[in-house]
Amino acid sequence: MFSQIISKIQQHHARLVAVSKTHPVEKILKIYHEGQRIFGENRPQEMLEKHQVLPVDIQWHMIGHLQTNKVKYIAPFVAMIHSVDSLKLLQEIDRQGQKHQRVIDCLLQFHIAKEETKFGLDEDEAQEMLTSQEYGAMKHVRICGVMGMATFTDDHQQVRQEFRQLKGIFNQLKSRFFARDDHFREISMGMSGDWELALEEGSTLVRIGSLIFGTR
Ligand SMILES: *Cc1c(COP(=O)(O)O)cnc(C)c1O
C-alpha cells in the first residue's frame, strides 16, 4: 500500500508528508525504515517530543494551526511550517529563526474551502503581508509556496476546483513576488481522501495521515 502511494506521488514529481500526529514513535519508525523522511505533525509539543527520540535526519513539517507562543518549541529544528496565516505569526517565526541562527522555510496557508472553520489567508491579506515593511525586513524566514485544505466533501468537482484555485493563487504570487526565487515552488495540498485529485491539479507536497497510519 505504502509503496503504491509513493510511486504514484513520484510519478507526479511530488513529495509525501507522512502525517504522524497522534501516532506513536514505533509506527513512525516503521515508515522511516521504508525510506520515508518527511513527517507532519500539528501540535508543537508533540512534534518536539517525537523529534527528541527519533532519528535526526527526519524532516519535521508543522501542518496544523500554530499559535505564536508555541513557535519556540519547534524553531530549533522544524524543516517547514505549512500553516502561516498571519503577519504576526511570521514575525515570531522570524524572531525565533534569528535566535537559533537559521532560516525557517514557510508556506502561506490559504482558505480555499467552503467551510467556515478552516484557517487561512485570502489573496488580499497575503498581498498586504508580502508588501509590508515588516516582511521586507525579515531575514530568518523563507516563503517556499502555499498550502490549503479543500472542503471535506464527496463532490470531486468542488474539491478539484478548490485545488485549482490554490494553484492559481500560487501562480499569481509567483509572478508578482517570487519570479526570481527558485525556492518558491511548493503547493501543499491533498490528504487521504483527495490526494490523487491534488496530484492531478499540481500538488508538490501531499499530506497523508490515515491512509498510511490507519484511523486515529
Ligand atoms: C491531519 C491532517 C492531514 C492528514 O489527514 P488524513 O485525512 O489523515 O490524511 C493533512 N493536513 C492537515 C492540515 C491535517 O491536520
pLDDT in tens, 16-28: 999 999 999 999 9
- Cell triple for residue 189? 495540498
Percentage of the chain with pLDDT > 70? 99
In b/e form, how buried is each residue of 155-194, taking b as 16+ CB within 10 angstroms?
A: eeeebbebbebbbebbeebeeebbeeeeebebbbbbbbbb
Q: Is 209 in the pocket of ligand 1 (CB under 6 A)?
A: yes
Using the atom order of ligand 1, give the atom closest to the CA of residue 215: 8
189 pLDDT band (50/70/90 cuts)? very high
Q: What is the Cα–Cα distance from 159 to 149, expressed in whole angstroms?
A: 9
How many angstroms does the Cα of residue 209 sit away from the middle of ligand 1?
6
Q: Residue 15 carries which side chain, given as an amino acid letter?
A: R
Q: Which of 119, 99, 117 is nearest to 109 (CA)?
A: 119
208 CA closest ligand 1 atom index? 9
pLDDT tens-digit readout, 146-188 = 999 999 999 999 999 999 999 999 999 999 999 999 999 999 9
H-assigned helices in the chain: 2-11, 25-32, 44-53, 71-74, 87-99, 123-130, 133-136, 156-177, 195-200, 210-213
Query: How far apart (Å, rounded) are the C-alpha atoms in residues 189 and 191?
Result: 7
Task: Return the pLDDT at 215.
Answer: 81
Ligand 1 binding pocket includes 208 (Cβ within 6 Å): yes
pLDDT tens for each residue of 93-121: 999 999 999 999 999 999 999 887 768 99
pTM summary value: 0.97
